[in-house]
Amino acid sequence: MTVYAIIGGTGLTELNGLQLREALSIDTPYGAPSASVLRGDYFGQEVLFLARHGHPHRIPPHQVNYRANLWALKEAGAQAILAMNAVGGIHASMGAGHFCVPHQIVDYTYGRAHSFFEGPDLDHVTHIDFSYPYDESLRQRLINALQTEACRFSAQGVYGCTQGPRLETVAEIVRMERDGCDIVGMTGMPEAVLARELNLPYACLSLVVNPAAGKSAGIITMAEIEAVLAEGIGQARSVLGRVLQAADV
């Protein structure tokens, strides 16, 4: 049975319903992960859970130790990763409360540790193929689960990853829309590429919590974002549970 790891983003710092077996404090060559890796049973399946921003939610997206997080999950026995991300909607179809299962990503981040293949001790330079950043089998599992749960969702989309922690300007969103981005978030990279370097199949379930800058009449408020999260995270948990229940043997 595949051991899935769930990486929880904003609004998902706890996995309600997880029957905890143990909390693992794992030392990595890259420092400490954001939180302990929780091992337990969820919807009848063994699962690992890690809060990307820590618990409580305290680590901003540009300071998440992505390398330590992915390394710790691999060390704990993860064989595939389901990542949860709160995002802004750029495309007209990506309204608040809408889910998206991205198929592509554009990286606008800088200064983050983007690879395990670096440093003075390397024997040779390593290039990995990243043409298709998300595992298609996992994407289809998420899509099937969203259909079963009757959620509003898009089966594909381009995720634009920005540096944060500030939200984007209107001009930046205009640029990203020209680049083909459908949603905007701050945590999709380098998480996806680090999973690829560790040979961990990876897919992302994105919940649109607000219209991107310039896509609504007013400014973006945290109260509005939190209201969408309150409803959407419950749906996301059900979707993730569906994926686990349909897990392969």
- Annotated binding-site residues for phosphate read 10, 52-53, 187
* pLDDT over threshold 70, residue 40: yes
Instruction: Please state the pTM of the whole predicted model.
Output: 0.92
pLDDT of 249 = 41
- Annotated binding-site residues read 10, 52-53, 186-187, 210-212
Query: What's the whole-number mean pLDDT along residues 239-244?
Result: 92
Mean pLDDT of the chain: 92
**Most confidently predicted of 2-11, 35-44, 171-180:** 171-180
DSSP state of 170: H
pLDDT of 12 = 65
Which homologous superfamily does the CATH classification assign to the domain defined by 4-116+130-245?
Nucleoside phosphorylase domain (3.40.50.1580)
Query: What's the whole-number mean pLDDT along residues 5-18?
Result: 76
* pLDDT over threshold 60, residue 221: yes
Tokens of 118: 């670096």
Give the residue extent of every domain in the chain. Answer: 4-116+130-245
The percentage of the chain sitting over the pLDDT mark of 90, rounded to a whole number, equals: 74
pLDDT in tens, 107-144: 999 999 999 988 888 888 889 999 999 999 999 999 99
Q: How many CA atoms lie within 13 A of 216 on its CB side?
A: 15
pLDDT of 10 = 65
* pLDDT over threshold 80, residue 15: no
Nearest to 11 by CA among 196, 243, 209, 149: 209
Place of tokens 């390394």: 71
- Annotated binding-site residues for substrate read 186, 210-212
Among the residue ranges 98-102, 117-121, 203-207, the one predicted with the least confidence is: 117-121
Q: Which residues contact 6 (CB under 8 A, 6 or more apart)?
A: 15, 42, 47, 48, 49, 50, 81, 82, 83, 84, 240
Q: Which residue has the higher pLDDT, 206 or 45?
A: 206
